[in-house]
Structure 1
Amino acid sequence: MSYNILAQDLLELHQDLYTHCPLEVLDWNYRFSLLVGEIQKWTPDIVCLQEVQENHYHEQLHPFLSEMGYTCVYKRRTGTKTDGCATCYRSSCFSQVVVTELEFFRPETELLDRHNVGIVLLLRPVVAQGSEVKGKAPPLCVANTHLLFNPKRGDVKLAQLAIMLAEISSVVKSCKAKGEHCNVVLCGDFNSVPHMLLYQLITTGELYYQGLPATCG
């Protein structure tokens, strides 16, 4: 399951975007109860969330998910915004091998001046028979991110995505060096649609960017 849950702080900062919504459905507690219901209904092995407000994560989401048997990694955005990404997995299904928390803000690079983040986990599926662990399953790389929203800055989105894909590639190569095949699950809010170049880069692994406008993402 991957879901942008809309941080309440961001909702209240941009209320003009939600004037068509009844006030009661914008209330965080109302939305949290619906989110809880969705997770309980589907009981996914892996949950990737974006726009997770830090205090909501620590006070409500993490306790709830822990009680359901999930282990979670949370990464708040750099800068002043109070939200971030959370990746959670069922402890009965996976063990954590490596966790990498990515920060896309790089002051020395002109394009990377925004405070988005990502999480890359390398998980090992638990192969159990009764109460005993049997065998060793191939590892799984789970990546989760929320790229820049600004529709005029596709160039920034592409640069952020490149960092995420480079980290995924590094994880996969480290597994191959050990003789292991590694599958990849890439989740997130990419603020893009299938005809955009971000989608092309993800699906084909190629992008020719010479002469493209900054809105190209």
Structure 2
Amino acid sequence: MSYNILAQDLLEENQQLYAHCPPEVLQWNYRCSLLLSEIEKWAPDILCLQEVQENHYHEHLYPVLSQMGYTCVYQRRTGTKTDGCAACYRSAVFTEAGVSKLEFFRPETGLLDRHNVGIVLLLRPLVTRGAEVKEAGPPLCVANTHLLFNPRRGDIKLAQLAIMLAEINAMIKSCKVRGEHCNVVFCGDFNSIPYTPLYQLLTTGELYYQGIPNRVIIS
């Protein structure tokens, strides 16, 4: 399961976007209750969330998710924004073999001047045999990110995606060294739509971007 849950701080900064919504449904307590009910209903083994406000994660989401049996990894955006990404998994289903928290802000690189982040997890499935819990099956790489929104800066978005894909590839290679096959689940809010160049890169592994205007990469 993957959701952009709309950070309350961002909602309140951009209230004009939600003028068509009744004010009571925009309140965090109302939305949080519905969100947690939805997660409990579907009980996904893997849960990835974007726009997770840091104080809401620590005070409201994580306490309930941990009671539901989830282990969670959270990464707040760099800079002044208060939200980030969370990647959670059922502790009874997986054990964590590796984690990488990524920050896309690279001041030494002029292009990467935005504060988006990502998380890459390496999980191993668990199985119970009698009273014993053992690792079983191939490892699984789970990645979660929220790429830049700005539709005019597809170049930045593409660079952020490249960082994520490189880290996922590093996880896969670490498994191959041990003779293991590693599947990938890549979740996130990519701020893109199907059949754009960014989508093409994700689905085919190739993108010839020479001469493509920034806005066309993702629009």
TM-score tier (shorter): over 0.9
Structure 2 residue aligned with 1:115? 115
Task: Kindly state the Cα deviation for residue 199 of structure 1 after the two structures are TM-superposed.
Answer: 0.8
Structure 2 residue aligned with 1:63? 63
Partner amino acid for 2:33? S
Partner amino acid for 1:204? T
| Corresponding residue SS for 1:126 | strand
Structure 2 residue aligned with 1:89? 89
Distance, in Å, in 2 between the alignment partners of 1:131 and 1:87 is 29
Structure 1 residue aligned with 2:8? 8
> Number of matched residues?
217
The Cα offsets for residues 22-66 of structure 1, whole Å up to 9 and x where unpaired, read as 100100000001001100100000100000000000001000000
Please list, as runs of the form range in 1=range in 2, the aligned pairs for 1:1-217 lying within 5 A after superposition: 1-134=1-134, 136-215=136-215, 216-217=217-218
Structure 1 ranges of 4+ moved more than 4 A: none
| Corresponding residue SS for 1:142 | strand
- Cα distance change on mapping 1:135 and 1:171 into 2, 3 Å: closer
The answer on whether the counterparts of 2:124 and 2:135 sit within 8 Å (CA) in structure 1 is no
Partner amino acid for 2:47? V
Unaligned runs of 5+ in 2: none
Distance, in Å, in 2 between the alignment partners of 1:185 and 1:146 is 15
Distance, in Å, in 1 between the alignment partners of 2:130 and 2:196 is 47
Task: Kindly state the Cα deviation for residue 89 of structure 1 after the two structures are TM-superposed.
Answer: 0.4
**RMSD of the alignment, in Å?**
0.9
**TM-score where L is the length of structure 2:** 0.97
Distance, in Å, in 1 between the alignment partners of 2:133 and 2:198 is 40
Distance, in Å, in 1 between the alignment partners of 2:70 and 2:142 is 15
Partner amino acid for 2:159? A
Distance, in Å, in 2 between the alignment partners of 1:160 and 1:65 is 29
Task: Kindly state the Cα deviation for residue 214 of structure 1 after the two structures are TM-superposed.
Answer: 1.4
Distance, in Å, in 1 between the alignment partners of 2:37 and 2:134 is 33
Distance, in Å, in 2 between the alignment partners of 1:156 and 1:202 is 16
**Percent of aligned pairs with the same residue?**
76
The answer on whether the counterparts of 2:70 and 2:91 sit within 8 Å (CA) in structure 1 is yes
Distance, in Å, in 1 between the alignment partners of 2:101 and 2:4 is 18
**TM-score where L is the length of structure 1:** 0.98
- Cα distance change on mapping 1:71 and 1:155 into 2, 3 Å: same
